[in-house]
Amino acid sequence: MPSERTLLSWERSAFGFLVGGALVLLHAHGPLAPGRIALATGAAMMALLVLGLGYRRSRKIRRSPVIAGRIVLSAPRIEVLLLGAATVTFATALVGALLWSAALG
């Protein structure tokens, strides 16, 4: 079913954010700093955003009309743009934190 495949792909993307946040917390150098906690929290929030977008898209697919055996649905432009923005934001914050950490120590 297309809605299930769509939801699974969005869930995989959300899991990627969670893993990224967990890796920030598992960094072996020193105690947890507020910056690392903020990055991990941001990653968790982005994972929730991606899950919400995935559920929204899955619902749209389930409610869409089927004409000649094909689902009629608009392209996921907003969802993809939001996922891309979240990914770029997290990557930029992560690189910034790494550069800042390297400059301090």
Q: For 48-104, how does the pLDDT look when each residue is reduced to its tens digit (9 = 90+)?
A: 998 998 888 888 887 777 777 777 777 778 888 988 998 898 899 888 887 887 777
CA dihedral (42, 44, 49, 55) in degrees, to 10, reads 170
Among all chains, which residue has been given the structure tokens 């770029």? 88
Q: What global pTM score does this model have?
A: 0.78
Cβ-based neighbour number of residue 92 at 10 Å: 10
Q: Are 57 and 6 in contact (CB under 8 A)?
A: yes
* Type of residue found at 53: L
The 10s digit of each residue's pLDDT in 16-55 is 989 988 888 886 666 777 888 888 899 999 999 989 988 8
